[in-house]
Structure 1
Amino acid sequence: MPLLYYKPKYNYQIMRKILLLLIAMIAVTTQLNAKVKVVKNPWCDVSTTPQLQIDQLELSDTATVMRCTYYSNPGWWFIIAKGSWLQADGKKYVLKGTQNLKPNEREKVDSTGTRKFALVFEPIDPKVSEFDFLEGTAKGDFQIWGISTDKRNKGKITEYKDITESKEPLAMPEWRSGKGTLAGRIIGYRPEMNMKIEGSSRSAINSNGKDFYTDIAPDGSFSVDVPMYATHQGVYVHIGNWYGILVLTEGDTCRVTLDLTENTHRMGGSRYVNVRNRATVPDLNRLHCQGPLADVNNGITTPEARMVIWNRMPRPKKGQTISVEEFLKQRKDWTEKKMKAIDTLRIGERAKQVVRLHEYASAIQTVQYAAPYIGQGARMGNENILMHKELDTNNMMIAYSGEFDSVINSFEFAHFSDSLFVERMKKLSEPINEKQKVGETIASEEIEALNAKIKQYVNEYRITHLGTDKGPLFEGIEAAEASRAMETDTPLTDEMLAKLSNPVIREYYTVKNEKLRQILEERKKGNNFTIYETPSTDGEHFLADVCKTYEGKAIMVDFWGTWCGPCRHAIKQFDSSGMKAKYKDKGVKFIYLTDDKSPEDIWRNMASGMDGDHYRMTPKQSHELFSKFGFTGWPSYLVIDKTGRYVYKRTGYRADEISSAIDKALE
């Protein structure tokens, strides 16, 4: 008879519960021993953004917990970097964990306009009275400085006196090639904030006006000269984390104070949401301006004025469009709504006038770039150019808006919005277009005659609708044409200079013209470029013959034209980015191909400033190569490796793709 063994049955469920209870008791004991110090709504000296608020600190010997709220529009997202840290007395405390948030991932704001979460750091030294929170030191990173571990507010907010509004009407700006100065101080600034002073001159005299920028001194002070085209003009500028429009006076200084401490405490998170939702919040997150037009600048930089300025006409839902008639009605209604909103602003009348001028410019641009509303390719009638008459844009007061260059551009190309005018131009261009399709040679006289005829029709179109051929809009167009001509490194003729009707603009281009002539003379002494005779073979054999010279080398071929703005921009970008110098040092050869659409004298001038080898294709060669590689326009690119294999072909400049292709060709 087999022996029977008794095996006792253990209740594992009961044992598991007992174990969990013990763990919980240990955790509670640890927490009690930790002596958590809670500080609600702790004071901080300054923050780089009012959107991130610290609701509560929990300080213990096991962790430092920051319970936060992020404020923004519902559905918008933000990211907290995994490498965020606290710092105090030269020591760094790393992020250990989070609650209700995943570091380095997009976190959406909920329907209330908030998102609550907690950041858990290493425990800070209990002797520390204040510390800093840094997400990083790059531009735009969250930073909160001087977070107090005490329960009392220890800071002070500066009070600023209001500027009395001038009763003088705004002066009519005049053309001027000069400069103004923007100077001031950012209170509460730390060098780790990595802020800049930068903006765009957006010159109405020179369409290639350069941006301006300067670093901020450790004490928060700054000063920068701003190129100006008028005696008074609006300028878009970044001052630290502030962005908006300021009106500068030529030859004078606009002084501004950005008080980060004031903005940190008066611009609480919930108030930020109200401002984003276009509520009236008159005294938050603003600049304090002194100097010429101080009353105007203090008015247009208030949050309520800025919200009116930035509030654009809503677009249809993605994938939807509206009829031209409905678009024009909505545009008119929207402008009327904006004008009523401007009337209610609690700022001076002179500041309101500048905001109105900005809205006129915005309305003009909405009609010019109507594709998001009416669909790509849809055209209107003469509504675009008629708006210039309706809003009286043919006067220098528009310079106050900061958008005069855009208004001039809209007026210059208003005819492209008119379907009847476009059809008329298509018929004029048909003979030349047909020749281009089959690769026939087009005489330069034919092109010049066509361009002259089109220019005549465009001038007639403008005069018919505006009732004049004089005024700042026309002077601005003359300046834009001169600027585009000089983009091609081609000096203006005496006749072209004489056609510049405004003496200030004419003097500006006379000086610029002489400098260009000197540059071209210097280039002739260099040997960085070579113009070769073009082999008289068909397209495919022509390219093979050209590349034989560079056998065993990686090659980049750039199909470009002097008349092609994107081509010129890409060439400058490729050069200024340092990519060209980098690959030249590695032995890459650069070939530039153009055709007869580029006037030969302009081509030679531009080629002299482009390091590389240059060839001028016949229309037949150009047509055959574009067909072979499937190019659809200019600029287009080929990259050829050391064995002669094509590793890249594409229309349109994409720096990253070209760089990757050249790296591959060098392998």
Structure 2
Amino acid sequence: MKNIAITCLVLVAVCAGLQAKKVVRAPYFMATSTSQIEFQKVTLGKDTTWIEAKIYSRPGEGVRIDSTAVVQVGDKMYAYWGGDGFSKEFWTNLPASGELAVTLKFEPIPMDAESFDFYEMPAKKSEGWNIYGVRLDGKKPEIGIPEKLLNQQLDYSQPLPDPDLKNGKTVIRGHILGYNPVYGTTLNFNCSDWFFFDVFGQSLPIAEDGSFYYETNLMIPGDATLRVGRKSFEIFLVPGGELEITFNLPEIYWSESRLFGKKDRRPLVWFEGTYAGLNTELTKYAGLTSIYSADNFYENICGVTPAQYKKYVTKIYEKNRDEILKNKLLSDAARTYMINNLEMSYFFAIKGYKGTISYAPMISGKKGVKRADMTVGENYYDDILRLDFIHSPYIRYGGYPDFVRAATEDFKGKFEPQPIWEDILRAKPLGSILARLKPLSEKQMLTLDSISEPEIKKALTIRNQKVMDLLAESAKKTGYTICQLDTAVTADSLLAVITRPYRGKVVLIDMWNTWCGPCMRAMNSLKPVKEELRDVIYVYVADESSPEGKWKITIPDIHGIHYRITNEQSAALGKLYEYPGIPTYFVIDREGKLSYKVTGFPGAEKMREELIKL
């Protein structure tokens, strides 16, 4: 009987121990700032919370979880205790597989918690790995998809619009389901316009309820890109059209996850309005229209010869073309449009072989790649000069001016010039200037006047007026000052020169640029500190990588002293003070001495501490 009693007690203890644990496998989440770490299992114990995860990166690259990492439930944070599979203090190099299985240990969180947020660097959230809304009920979160979208009936029979020049206002509006401002999700728009392409695109504001609205002038139907976080969506726009877009934010993040990416899922996006059917098809099959979208494209072309490159690219082209032509679900409009875009992508992939091969190691991260001889024979381009898209009217969609430049420079004499080509070649440099938000000079206006095509002239005139209006509106704002710095000032005296007028004051120098998203988010986080510490002098230093026009339009909303230094000065300063990127901050004390330096936003509270102690 005694043995039976002991056995019963042991069983009760074991059962109690098992009941003290809650296990969630492949937990869903709402959003993430990274694709480098994924949670595969979460175990809630009485004394510890365990998270089994995988870290992904390039083979040999060092990784670690910052020692300040936390999981947060409600307003309470639970500390990171270390992990198995790698060191808490030192960097661990990833194996050849590029994957590292780890177990992270945290303070125990409540058993009844429904979800938690993970912050790798809670004081520098814009820099660390963040995963939001990790579900602990094992269920897929519901985000309230409107019934009209679930039962949507679209028209796929609509033919492609004629590629005629006709300026008109185009509206893009919509909603991001599952959006929360805390996630830091960004929305970026880039239109493959004839003349105004901006490599950084246009950041679109998102309201707190996830809605957005944007309008722009278009001169011709064509493609554009909307990027939600890291996910890009190719869309088709027409002058005078209105496209309503609804994004499914959790599904977008899951689609990029190795854990959920191949699972059946609901649509990532829904379209309503102008060419909603065509846009739905293009989103579904977008990867087929670009040569560069092939898996591991840049990795596979490292160190190849031009002949090997051409063979590889042609194989991608033929495979994608065959898949498009055999797809019976595609509408005639989608098939025509996709073949046209694919052929243009193939044309430029072959034409630009030298630059693509040369940059492949840098893009893919491969080191020690030996460069092959880039010499090619006279017939290297023969195949692309016979492509059908060259004679299609739909060649005018999208990047037609780039084709015109290639036809008049690289392949001069191979094509019969079209009357509009001369106007395109005159307009293209003007469009590049306006894309950088810089108004046209008097001399450039004379070039504009010499353009004979009225719709091209109208498009440039509309954009020039928009740029001037933006600059005029910015000039009316107060609270900022633009200062000039002599280009002869060297790095070793630069900080002293720009802070000398403020001796006796504490100065915070913010190194930033207009294209730096983390810089802008950090500025927003610092606004309460600036309101509190009004005696501090705030100096913002950008360089020439910030287009002058965009810089002038941006800085009126950033109160403080502004400098725009040369790229040479910026590079020399970075080398002298050994900072690898931006944002970087310098705190200068009342005697003009450097008191604190940090790269990456350290958090508003840390910055406040460094400023008030001087």
Range class of TM-score, shorter chain: 0.5 to 0.7
Higher relative contact order (CA 8 A, sep 6+): 2
Aligned in 2, Cα 1:376/1:213: closer, same or farther, shift over 3 Å?
farther
Q: State the distance in 1 between where 2:466 and 2:138 align.
A: 65
* Partner residue, 2:268: 286
Given residue 466 of structure 1, which amino acid in structure 2 is its aligned partner? Answer: F
Q: State the distance in 2 between where 1:195 and 1:394 align.
A: 42
> 1:122: Cα distance to partner?
0.8
* Partner residue, 1:370: 353
* Partner residue, 1:431: none
* Partner residue, 2:116: 131
TM-score, length basis structure 2 = 0.62
Q: Secondary structure at the match of 2:442?
A: coil
Aligned in 2, Cα 1:182/1:130: closer, same or farther, shift over 3 Å?
same
Deviates more, 1:346-355 or 1:41-50: 41-50
- Structure 2: 5+ residue stretches without partners: 1-12, 358-370, 476-481, 491-495, 499-542, 578-585, 587-591, 594-614
* Structure with greater Cα Rg: 1
Q: Please point out which of 407, 410, 413 is paired with 1:414.
A: 410
* Aligned partners of 1:71 and 1:109 also within 8 Å: no
* Aligned partners of 1:206 and 1:479 also within 8 Å: no
Q: State the distance in 2 between where 1:517 and 1:59 align.
A: 58
Q: State the distance in 1 between where 2:569 and 2:390 align.
A: 37
* Partner residue, 1:614: none
Given residue 253 of structure 1, which amino acid in structure 2 is its aligned partner? Answer: E
* Partner residue, 1:657: 572
Aligned in 2, Cα 1:44/1:338: closer, same or farther, shift over 3 Å?
closer
> 1:220: Cα distance to partner?
1.6
Q: Give per-residue Cα distances to partners, 1:158-193, cap 9 Å, x unaligned.
A: 583354342232112322444422222221112111
Q: Percent of aligned pairs with the same residue?
A: 16
Q: Please point out which of 315, 321, 326 is paired with 1:339.
A: 321
> 1:218: Cα distance to partner?
1.9
Q: Please point out which of 207, 228, 231 is paired with 1:217.
A: 207
* Partner residue, 1:39: 23
Q: Please point out which of 389, 404, 408 is paired with 1:392.
A: 389
Aligned in 2, Cα 1:163/1:407: closer, same or farther, shift over 3 Å?
farther
* Aligned partners of 1:85 and 1:121 also within 8 Å: yes
* Partner residue, 1:478: 426
> 1:91: Cα distance to partner?
0.9
Q: Give per-residue Cα distances to partners, 1:59-110, cap 9 Å, x unaligned.
A: 2231111223467999999765544322223211122212224568576487
Q: Are residues 1:65 and 2:60 paired? A: no
Q: Are residues 1:255 and 2:244 paired? A: yes
* 1:470-549 paired onto structure 2 within 5 Å: 470-471=419-420, 474-483=422-431, 490-492=441-443, 496-497=447-448, 499-509=450-460
Q: Give per-residue Cα distances to partners, 1:359-412, cap 9 Å, x unaligned.
A: 122112212321145957636547659835634346662455x54454344345
Given residue 306 of structure 1, which amino acid in structure 2 is its aligned partner? Answer: G
Q: Please point out which of 103, 106, 125 is paired with 1:121.
A: 106
Aligned in 2, Cα 1:34/1:89: closer, same or farther, shift over 3 Å?
farther
Deviates more, 1:370-379 or 1:177-186: 370-379
* Aligned partners of 1:163 and 1:294 also within 8 Å: no
* Aligned partners of 1:184 and 1:222 also within 8 Å: yes
Q: Give per-residue Cα distances to partners, 1:516-559, cap 9 Å, x unaligned.
A: 99999xx9xxx999xxxxxxxxxxxxx99xx9xxxxx979xxxx
Q: Secondary structure at the match of 1:39?
A: strand
Q: Give per-residue Cα distances to partners, 1:263-307, cap 9 Å, x unaligned.
A: 5668773452x5xxxxxx8866632211111111111212x5436
Q: State the distance in 1 between where 2:197 and 2:252 align.
A: 36
Q: State the distance in 2 between where 1:71 and 1:233 align.
A: 36
- Structure 1: 5+ residue stretches without partners: 1-28, 275-280, 416-460, 530-542, 548-552, 556-568, 589-609, 612-636, 638-651
Q: Secondary structure at the match of 2:389?
A: coil
* Aligned partners of 2:27 and 2:41 also within 8 Å: no
In the comparison of the two structures, how many residue pairs are matched? 482
TM-score, length basis structure 1 = 0.58
* Aligned partners of 1:364 and 1:407 also within 8 Å: no
Q: Please point out which of 190, 193, 211 is paired with 2:180.
A: 190
Given residue 41 of structure 2, which amino acid in structure 1 is its aligned partner? Answer: Q
Q: Secondary structure at the match of 1:173?
A: coil
Q: State the distance in 2 between where 1:95 and 1:358 align.
A: 49
Aligned in 2, Cα 1:376/1:94: closer, same or farther, shift over 3 Å?
farther
Q: Are residues 1:306 and 2:306 paired? A: no
* Aligned partners of 2:219 and 2:459 also within 8 Å: no
Given residue 357 of structure 1, which amino acid in structure 2 is its aligned partner? Answer: N
